[in-house]
Amino acid sequence: MTITRRQLLISGATLATLAATPLPARDRLPVRPIPSSGERLPIIGLGNSNAFREGDREKSRELLKILIDHGGAYVDCGGSSRFVVATAAAELGLGDEVFLGTYFTNDDETQARGNAALILDTMGKPSLDLMQAYPEFAVPNWAMFRHWKDEGLTRHIGVARHNLRYYDAMMKLMETGTVDVLQVNYSPLETEAEDRILPMAMDKGVAVTINRPFINGQYFSLVRGHTLPEWAAEFDCETWAQFSLKYIVSHPAVNCVLTETANPAHAVDNLSAGFGRLPDAAMRRRIVEHLRSLA
């Protein structure tokens, strides 16, 4: 059975209390540059939340406001969700502050340009922030992506996948020197990207964003019933969610980790992982070993 985060929030606080509690008064979220452009991404972002997928604009506005208020920027989503996010951002007057990563995988160019124009018109942007594709053995429309970047319709182009069987295709594309951003699965329970993908991205100057930080809830099933180890305080970690997120963003190749939630309390918890100390190399190994011992 998949365990929800609701069952794992610590300290006995209610969800409403956590959602209403601001982050500690510290600097805004740390940022890391996209090597190809120098633009800086805050290290915690939002993935394709159920609020976006279900078209819940009220909840979408709430999540975007939490993200921006605490120094975040990156939202990653495709399909109809991107129009929900674009509309919610515009309604909040945050079109310029949201960095939207979205997908144009199977669209023909006419349809894709129409979708791009709608996003830009809604958000009031002159260009897309990031357009991405899902590679199989190759990306058939990569030439379109490069053309859009050359003409200024998008500032960044990238690829996104969530399974090691796609790593070879992603690496071949990185070899061309045309990838700005690569999104891949990575967490203390899924460390395969450390072997080839992350080192190559650093070598090629490719920004890395991370999906599946909680492996679609499997992570919370694993840690259910276990107390967060006391030594987690050594890197300012207060919850099991932060235990995984801090591990991820402590890798030098990672620009931003994407968290999917429709719950404001969870959004605050996730953002909190971006503040304070991060685990060093020895502590990172200890995190992996500890989680393996629970399994």
Name the pairing type of β-strands 31-33 and 40-42: antiparallel
| Terminal-to-terminal C-alpha distance of the chain | 15
What is the tens place of the pLDDT at every residue in 214-237?
Answer: 999 999 999 999 999 999 999 999
Query: CA 3 from chain center: how many Å?
Result: 21
The domains located in the chain, with CATH, are: 5-294 (3.20.20.100)
Three-state SS for 293?
helix
Q: Is the pLDDT of residue 21 over 90?
A: no
Instruction: Give the whole-number percent of the chain exceeding pLDDT 70.
Output: 90
What is the tens place of the pLDDT at every residue in 266-281?
Answer: 999 999 999 999 999 9
Among candidates 164, 178, 142, which has minimal Cα distance to 211? 164
Among candidates 192, 189, 266, which has minimal Cα distance to 10? 266
What is the tens place of the pLDDT at every residue in 154-178?
Answer: 999 999 999 999 999 999 999 999 9
What is the tens place of the pLDDT at every residue in 181-215?
Answer: 999 999 999 999 999 999 999 999 999 999 999 99
- From residue 19, give the alpha-carbon distance in Å to each of 25, 59, 109: 16, 12, 42
Which DSSP state fits 233?
G
Total count of residues recorded for the chain: 295
pLDDT of residue 5: 55
pLDDT of residue 16: 39
Nearest-angstrom CA–CA distance, 138 and 205:
20
One-letter amino acid for residue 6 of the chain? R
Read off the pTM: 0.91
CA angle 266, 269, 271 (to 5 degrees): 110
Q: Is the pLDDT of residue 290 over 80?
A: yes
Residue 253 backbone phi and psi in degrees, to 5: -80, -15
pLDDT of residue 8: 53
pLDDT of residue 17: 35
pLDDT of residue 120: 98
